[in-house]
A = this chain, B = another copy of it.
Amino acid sequence: MGAGPGSGIRSGRGDDPGAGAAAPVRRLCVIGVGLIGGSFARALRAAGACAEIVGCGRDAAHLERARALGVIDRAEVDPARAVVDADVVMLAAPVGASGALLQAVAPVLRDDALISDAGSVKGSVLAAARAALGGRFPAFVPGHPIAGTERSGVEASSVDLFRGRCTVLTPTAETDARALARVRGLWEACGARVVEMDAAHHDRVFAAVSHLPHLLAYTLVDWIAARPDAAELFDFAGGGFRDFTRIASSDPVMWRDICTANAEALGAQLAEFAAALDAVLRAVRAGDAAALEALFARAKRARDRKVEAER
């Protein structure tokens, strides 16, 4: 992976990070200690990049498991208490909660705190941060680690989830260069490669390659599950179906939030894809073997190339 040729990408290191970019975090507050937040905490601790970790979430029992696992040092269900004295705050809750969480913590953040997030949609989070943080908006660094799996919860978190993977940061012109450099450094400490990109560009790219496939997988499984012969259909679904639908086992709340937060880009991509699918339906009905073979051969070449490039 790496910076592609897209117009919105900045692959450089940005402006001079200034002093302190690589300083360890004294107190990290992770809001949402699930797969992503838990893995971020584990990786930073393992890298020696973080002295103390406060975990925050709505479910006290879940937080207690995170503490028992050593992922966090201290648990707080109240975000406004959790961020007290934290120098870095990482939002890793479903993106739909970002606005309310930022509003809750904004009045109590340390003056020099930086705030980042790990949501899969960036435009809506930037808008929420701008509204909630006011003059502190430059200290917000929006991010998206490309490292999810269909599993969720702190039990699924791991120290090396981000190793060798890409994290996209989508700063604005207002984003503080030191805050940006520090967040970049934290992701690099987790083993990730960091790419910068415009937020709107990010949301179009991930609508196509991530949000749309999730919608297709969810829709296919639900469409089958709703049929009277669902039990038999699932019985005869083989390994191809299992892999195709793996992402339909993803967290419904997380994906509800992604699909509503990125509704505009996702709706546009889905409509375009539906048109492509309609052309395929016409080819199937017309028995157009040549068109189908050409499509399948192009797709196989493209996918085989992608898989080859990842080796």
Contacts and interface: CB of A to CB of B under 8 A. Distances in A.
Contacts of A216: 216, 220, 244, 277
Contacts of A295: 218-219, 222
A111 interface: no
Interface string A256-295: 1101100100110011111011101100110101001101
A19 interface: no
Interface stretch (A30-38, A97-105, A180-188, A234-242): A234-242
Given A210-B240, A295-B222, A249 B300 contact: yes
A10 B103 CA distance: 62
Given A210-B241, A292-B260, A223 B304 contact: no
A238 B147 contact: yes
Given A221-B302, A236-B166, A274 B271 contact: no
Contacts of A248: 296, 299-300, 303
Contacts of A231: 4-5
A144 B277 CA distance: 27
Nearest to A293: B256
A116 interface: no
Tell me how many chains of this kind the complex includes: 2
Contact of A243 (B1, B235, B244): B244
A127 to B, nearest CB: 15
B236 A1 contact: yes
B243 A246 contact: yes
Given A9-B232, A148-B239, 18 more contacts: A6-B229, A148-B240, A168-B236, A205-B229, A209-B234, A210-B236, A213-B240, A214-B240, A218-B300, A219-B295, A220-B273, A221-B303, A222-B302, A225-B298, A248-B299, A255-B296, A263-B284, A263-B285
Interface of A: 1-2, 4-6, 9, 96, 146-150, 165-166, 168, 205-206, 208-210, 212-227, 229-253, 255-257, 259-260, 263, 266-267, 270-274, 276-278, 280-281, 284-285, 287, 289, 292-293, 295-307, 309-310
